[in-house]
Structure 1
Amino acid sequence: MSEVKVYPPPKMVERKCKCCCKSFQARAADVKRGWGLFCSKSCKAIKQEQKTHQHRDYTRGYWDRQEAFEKGHVEPTFSNAHQFSNEEHDCNKD
């Protein structure tokens, strides 16, 4: 019968989260490649949002369009709807 290979546990180093300043353990290999900066994915996401404002800009554009539509300034259209039309398509065509 084959033996199960047991690997040693990874080397861990003590780190401080760049978002919440909480102390956590990160793999030394991850720290070496520049990772291991945040204690969790949520802390990483918070810091990334503060840096890029990607989600804020996306939602701001949505609400601006909604407000303009409600005031009657903009009529919502799908300008390239013809590209998605199935009127000329025939599945049974050989």
Structure 2
Amino acid sequence: MTYTLEPEVIATDVEDGVVLLDQRTGRYFQLNRSGATTLRLLLDGNSPDRAAETLAAGRPEAAGRARTDVRALLESLLKAKLVVCS
């Protein structure tokens, strides 16, 4: 399964993360640095579990929380129709 931005969504890097503009609705969404990193990992072809492993690398105690956070962000992005799965 791969994830891509919806064709009408523009991502712009900012100092503390990334801003997504949904051109269909004119709505902006801002992701902090962790959210931006997660989004990039997913868009680069990583599964949610692999993205969580990368985020928690070197901190095994954070693995469970990372999985939960990655899945929650992905669910939000899919629900807002900013990201599609193919």
TM-score (norm 2): 0.29
Structure with greater helix percent: 2
Give the number of the structure with larger relative contact order, counting CA–CA contacts within 8 Å between residues 6 or more apart: 2
Rg (Cα) greater in structure? 1
Structure with greater strand percent: 2
